[in-house]
Structure 1
Amino acid sequence: MAGVLDSVNQRTQLVGQNRLELLLFRLDGEQIYGINVFKVKEVLQCPTLTQLPQSNSVVKGVAHIRGGTIPILDLSRATGNAPIDNIQDRLAIITEYNMHSQGFLVKGVERIININWEDVQPPPKGTGHDHFLTAVTKYEDKLVEIIDVEKILAEVTPMTEDVSEGLITEDVTSNAVSKQILIADDSKIARKQITRTLEQIGVTVVAVNDGREALDHLLALVEEGVHPADRYPIVISDIEMPEMDGYTLTSEIRNHPQLNDLHILLHTSLSGVFNQAMVKKVGANDFLAKFQPDMLAQLVIERITHLGGELPALEGEA
């Protein structure tokens, strides 16, 4: 237990400093890619794979790892490049996204680097709408591309954005019609998923691409004489974002006298004990792992209606 706590304490030192650790790797070529270390459980030689009939072509098969069965995805093919060959000689990065484990087949792993989110930028303009990048950065004069894994997973295994029948009542929608919610997420697919879920409640969604845009927007409201907490009963922010991450955004909001009463929900594909500790440290109100439409809707309904009684029960709840 002491070892786990020491690890948590070490990781949480990055919180509020707008920094991240990236595991660098290569696919079918010399381009370098990066993935947040927090999402990586382990890196191992590609295990023996069992093919699944009628599965997506990106899924190379499933592997039995530490008592569980997880899919192994060809990350090169998923991004529109040539499939990785000689897979028995390649590596699998075992990750956890959206409360599910999966492995990404890669050509090779380089190293772990510690950088500032301010040095991570959105994809260059002109890359089109169908690219798989969520951000880019530079390391030792080399371009590092950060893949929008949420987009890949959504295409391989589409997730529902629909809220369960009965959760949204007429009283909820009538109360929600006058409400606005600010969301910050650098993933185009994640913004779409969140927006569709919230619009079913009846609220108006204002979406920005990262924490810096969110903070600038809130400060602009202050300059206009608007109290941001009156405009937005809840701010929903991703954690991983270029220029300013969700932890730093939360810290900036809590340290600003005209913003610090905003209700903040950190909504992220990151999960686990590290993130619970970080959320508590920066002072967010809630934490929710992606993507759970019913739970997201329920948290928003609780906030915008200020319900003190019982909410409609989710399916399966006693």
Structure 2
Amino acid sequence: MAGILDGVDLRTQLAGHNRLELLLFRLGGKQRYGINVFKVQEVIHCPPLTRVPQAHPVVKGIANMRGKTITIMDLSMAIGGPPLEDYENKFTVITEYNRRVQGFLVDSVDRIINMNWQDILPPPRGAAEGTYMTAVTQMDGELVEIIDVEKVLKEVIGGQEDVSEGVIEERTDEQPHHVLVVDDSSVARNQVTRVLKRMGVDFTACKDGQEAWEQLQSWLDDERNVEDFLSLVISDVEMPRMDGYSLTKKIREHPALEKLHVILHTSLSGVFNKTMVAKVGANDFLPKWEPDTLAMIVQEQLRQHDQARADAA
């Protein structure tokens, strides 16, 4: 237990300081890749695998680890590269996304680095539309690609796409609502905005915390009452330039924005979330991807925002 608490303390020190730790690895070539250490449980040599009939080609099998059955995927194949050969001698990165544990086969593991999100940049403008990069950075003069794991998991594992029947209530209020959606993953942005469209709620979508902060500043420059206009901010945590923790902290420190309702919509599940959310002042966090839960939370916040407007009138 002490080790877990130490880990929570170590990582919450990064929250609100726009910093992250990246695990660097390679997939058989010279290119370096990275994923957030928050999502990594451990790195091991590939365990014995049991093949699964009719599984997705990316799935190399399942492994039993500490009483859990874990799906093991070839990450090179998952992002459109060649399959890893002799994978029994490769490494497996055990990760947790959206309260689900899975392993990714990689060729070799480099090291862990501590970086500032300001040094993590969006993919180059010329990058293909179907790219699996969510961001890039420089390390030792080399380009490091940060993989959009959410896109990989959606393609390989899938999941619920739409809100279930009966979850969205018919709105009786006449007042308009607007939601600010912030996420660097196009897959995640589309998932959130699809729900909002079904609910008939207007939104503005931004690709990272810096863009969102600039949008908020623009609304303030236009002398708009942002706390009245904006019913909710739904923000990812991991984003280039400015992460969701830092965005939330800046919102709380601004006198014209401090009352905004902020939900961190994150695949960073596990023990760290509630501690970090409390530290930076977010109202809550929502694990990805749960469209029914998202719809219910948005509906409740719209009701509360209407009540706040009525009280202020």
The question of 1:130 aligning with 2:127 is answered no
Which of 251, 254, 275 does residue 253 from structure 1 map onto? 251
**Unaligned segments of structure 1, at least 5 residues:** 309-318
Which letter does structure 2 place at the counterpart of 1:208? Answer: C
3-state SS in 2 of match to 1:88? helix
- Residues 63 and 72, structure 1, Cα contact 8 Å, conserved in 2: yes
**CA distance, structure 2, for counterparts of residue 257 and residue 33 of structure 1:** 40
Which letter does structure 2 place at the counterpart of 1:226? Answer: R
- Residues 182 and 234, structure 1, Cα contact 8 Å, conserved in 2: yes
Deviation at 1:166, TM superposition (A): 1.5
Deviations 1:158-213 (A, max 9, x none): 2222112222122x3x4387211110000010011111112111111211100000
3-state SS in 1 of match to 2:272? helix
Which of 207, 213, 220 does residue 209 from structure 1 map onto? 207
Deviations 1:250-299 (A, max 9, x none): 00000111111110000000011112111000000011111111111111
Map of 1:150 onto structure 2: 150
Which letter does structure 1 place at the counterpart of 2:160? Answer: T
- Residues 21 and 37, structure 1, Cα contact 8 Å, conserved in 2: yes
Map of 1:188 onto structure 2: 186
- Residues 28 and 81, structure 1, Cα contact 8 Å, conserved in 2: no
Map of 1:160 onto structure 2: 160
Deviation at 1:231, TM superposition (A): 1.7
- Residues 75 and 105, structure 2, Cα contact 8 Å, conserved in 1: yes
**CA distance, structure 1, for counterparts of residue 230 and residue 305 of structure 2:** 17
Deviation at 1:223, TM superposition (A): 0.7
- Residues 28 and 108, structure 2, Cα contact 8 Å, conserved in 1: no
Which of 280, 283, 289 does residue 281 from structure 2 map onto? 283
3-state SS in 2 of match to 1:21? strand
Query: TM-score normalised to the size of structure 1?
Result: 0.93
**CA distance, structure 2, for counterparts of residue 307 and residue 228 of structure 1:** 12
Query: TM-score normalised to the size of structure 2?
Result: 0.95
**CA distance, structure 2, for counterparts of residue 289 and residue 280 of structure 1:** 16
Identity level (%): 55
Which letter does structure 2 place at the counterpart of 1:163? Answer: V
**CA distance, structure 2, for counterparts of residue 9 and residue 32 of structure 1:** 29
Q: Which runs of 4+ in 1 moved over 3 A?
A: 174-177
Shift in CA distance, 95/176, structure 1 to aligned 2, threshold 3 Å: farther
3-state SS in 1 of match to 2:286? strand
Matches within 5 A, 1:230-245: 230-245=228-243
Deviation at 1:127, TM superposition (A): 0.9
Which letter does structure 2 place at the counterpart of 1:291? Answer: W
3-state SS in 1 of match to 2:223? coil
Deviation at 1:84, TM superposition (A): 0.5
